[in-house]
Amino acid sequence: MSFLLKCPNCGERSVYEFRFGGEYRPRPAQQAPHPVWVEYVYSRDNKDGVHKEWWYHRDGCGAWFLAQRDTVSNTVLATEWPPDLFTG
């Protein structure tokens, strides 16, 4: 595994500089039914194809961002700040 990720702050870097943060999934409201929470806490899509996922630039700027990655080819299609995030 040696693909490159484009950190929105630092530019293209080796994947080894980053921490993988798992799938990007909306968090249920506190009042959501228990099964919805169980699903959120314990299940993952883990699909073969394009994922939206969290990455953290551990060895760089120390920011979290989102990447769209094809889990079959490790092609990173796009990286972006999470919605609403102040881009700094």
Partner 1 sequence: MSNNSSRLPAAPVRQVDYAQKLTFYFEGKPVQAFAGETVAMALFAAGRRIFTRSFKYHRPRGLLCCSGDCPNCLMHIDGQPNQRACRVPVREGLQVSAQHAWPSLDRDLLHVIELFSRLMPVGFYYKTLYRPKFLWKLAEPVIRRLAGLGRIDIHNHGHGGYGHSYEFTDVTVVGGGPAGIQAALRAAEAGVSVTLVDAEEQLGGHLCYQTIPKSQDPYEGMAGYEVARNMAAAVREQSGIRVLSAASAVGAYEGGLVPILQGNTLIHLRTKCLIVATGCHEYPLVFRHNDLPGVMLSRAALRMINLFGILPGRRAVVVTANDHGYVVALECLRSGIDLAEVVDARPKASNCQEASELRGQGVAISQGCSIREAVGKRSVRAARLGLIDAKGKPAPGPAREIPCDLVLLSVGWQPAAALLSQAGCHLEFDSLLGQAVPRSLSPGVFPAGEVMGLRDLAHLISSGEKAGAAAVAFLNGQSAGSETGKVDDLLDRLRRTSPAFSISNATGQEKNFVCWCEDVVEKDLKQAVVEGYDEIETLKRYSTVSMGPCQGRMCARAAAEICAHATGKDLRAIGTTTSRPPLVPVPLGALAGEELHPIKLSSIHYKHAALTNQTMNMGVWKRPIVYTSVPEEYDAVRNHVGLIDVSTLGKLVVKGRDAAKLLDKVYTHWFSTLKPGRVRYGVICDESGIVLDDGTVSRLGDDHYYITTSTGNIDFVEQWLKWWAAGTGWCVHVMNVTAAHAALNLAGPKARDLLSGLTDIDLSPTAFPYMACKEGRISGVPALLLRIGFVGETGWEIHFPAEFGEYLWDRLLESGREFSCRPFGVEAQRLLRLEKKHVIVGQDTDALSNPYEADMSWVVKLDKADFVGRHALASLQGQEMRNRLVGFCMLDGVRPQDGNAVVIAGKPAGRVTSARFSPAQNQYVGLAWVPVEYAKEGIRIQVHVDGQLGSAAIFEKPFYDPDGVRLK
Partner 2 sequence: MSEIYKLTPIHHWHRQHGANFILEAGWKRVESYGNADEEVSWVRTAVGICDATPLTKIDCQGKDLVSFLTQILAQVSVPEPGRHSRGRLWGEEVYCEIHVARLTAGRALVFGAPEARDALMARFSRSAQGFECVHVTDLTSAFGAIHLAGPRSAEVLKTVCPLRLDGGGLLSGLCAQAPVVRVNAMVMREDLMGLMSYLILVSRDYGEYVWKSLMSVGAKHQIRQFGLTAERRLRRGTTDVAAVQ
Task: Write the DSSP symbol of residue 37.
Answer: H
Q: Considering beta carbons, is residue 47 or 87 the nearer one to partner 1?
A: 87
Among 35, 45, 48, 84, binds partner 1 (CB under 8 A): 84
14 binds partner 2 (CB under 8 A): yes
The answer to whether the beta carbons of residues 70 and 50 sit under 8 Å apart is yes
Residue-wise over 5-41: b if at least 16 C-beta within 10 A, else e? bebbeeeeeebebbeeeeeeeeeeeeeeeeeeeeeee
Could you tell me how many residues of this chain bind partner 2 (CB under 8 A)? Answer: 14
What minimum distance in Å lies between the beta carbon of 47 and partner 1?
20
Among 49, 72, 74, 78, binds partner 1 (CB under 8 A): 74
The residues binding partner 1 (CB under 8 A) are 1-4, 14-15, 19, 21, 27-28, 30, 32, 34, 37, 40-42, 54, 56, 58, 62-65, 74, 81-86
